[in-house]
Amino acid sequence: MLRYRLRELMADYQYKTGERITFGELSQKTGIHRATLSRIANQKGYSTVTDNIDKLCDFFGCTVSDLMEHIPSEIE
């Protein structure tokens, strides 16, 4: 499963710039629908297109591994 670190990146953005960013503002700046951003941040195991990952990495100036991490599934 993939875990997104979108909320952490938004908090880092606020720390670095002194400006709080909402999903609405992030949506306007990246072109990603607000509902999609909310799902990425809140829905466990949400799957999104690579274009969204690319846009978020461009906006935050981060790598894919800064945005998301792989959590191994427990397969029995």
Give the pLDDT confidence score for residue 39 in this predicted structure.
Answer: 97
Give the pLDDT confidence score for residue 45 in this predicted structure.
Answer: 85
Give the pLDDT confidence score for residue 34 in this predicted structure.
Answer: 97
56 Cα distance to chain centroid:
6
Give the pLDDT confidence score for residue 1 in this predicted structure.
Answer: 86
Token pair for residue 17? Answer: 């710039």
Per-residue pLDDT reduced to its tens digit, 28-68? 999 999 999 999 999 988 999 999 999 999 999 999 999 99
Q: Which CATH architecture has domain 2-62?
A: Orthogonal Bundle (1.10)
Per-residue pLDDT reduced to its tens digit, 5-24? 999 999 999 999 999 999 99
39: number of Cβ within 10 Å = 15
